[in-house]
A and B are shown apart, each in its own frame.
Chain A
Amino acid sequence: MEALKFLRPGRVAPFTRVTWPPPGQWLAAAAPPELCRSGVHALLPDVLATWIAQELWRVELDGGQELAPGIVVAARGRLLGRVQAWSDETAREFARACAAHARRHTRGLAAEYAADAAAAAEKGVAGDSATRVGYMAARAAEAMTPGGFAAERRWQSRWLADRLGVPTR
């Protein structure tokens, strides 16, 4: 199956810090797939916003099971190519979009969180900081309504998928 993967610069996996081989070469896990423990992990577009890092890649997984919402794990995978539309500039756009969407919260804690998101978006740094804006905006939504966090994250991921030309499920 085809999925997506955020990596740190140089094709470095953010948590295992394994360097992925160049596109086309398979990367196999040493142990059978197990959520967050072993196996090649990749993302479905629904959860793009949660896992942002500097590089976005299309990946092909050999098999693959969804072991957590939006997270697919397989015994092996290979990079297909960079999603070129994901860049520092897009990350800044994303941050501003998250902050703007959060402005609809005008009262109480939600409004405070939204203001924090806006301030963070203004700092205008890409990658990690964009993710933080998304997180703050999602917390603002949760402060308005229970379940708001997850819904906001879905909105954010849909925004990203649309902006990056990635087909959603």
Chain B
Amino acid sequence: MSVPELTCEELVEVVTDYLEGGMPAERRLLFEEHLAFCEGCQTYLEQMRETIRLTGTLMEDDLEPSARDALLGVLRDWKRR
């Protein structure tokens, strides 16, 4: 294949590089040229973005009151040294 291009199989391996901005311009261009005609890869990339977005909404594991009090107790004791 004398035309440089990314296959879907290759794209799936470099999708994180793309999202991280870690690719040289020429490769980004190939990536986007492929995306432009490939619905499957558009879907895959979108799903990856969704995954990241949803992962980011996982609730804060707040310190439970008892753990927080225990921690503050330890710190108070330390201060009294």
Chain A residues close to B by CB (< 8 Å) = 14-15, 34-37, 50-53, 67-68, 71, 128-129, 131-132, 134-135, 139, 142, 146-147, 149-150
How many contacts A-B (CB < 8 Å)? 48
Chain B residues close to A by CB (< 8 Å) = 1-3, 21, 25, 28-29, 32-33, 35-39, 42
Our pick among A37, A134, A139, A146 for the contact of B28 (Cβ within 8 Å) is A37
Q: Classify the secondary structure of B's interface with A.
A: helix
Knowing A15-B35, A129-B39, A132-B37 touch, does A68 contact B29 (C-beta < 8 A)?
yes
Excluding A51-B33, A128-B42, A142-B3, 11 further A-B contacts by CB distance (< 8 Å) are A14-B32, A14-B35, A34-B25, A37-B28, A52-B36, A53-B36, A128-B37, A129-B39, A132-B37, A132-B39, A142-B1
User: Do the beta carbons of A35 and B29 come within 8 Å of each other?
Assistant: yes
Contacts of B33 in A (CB 8 A): 50-51
Q: Complex Cα distance A50/B33, Å?
A: 7
Residue of A whose beta carbon sits closest to that of B3? A149
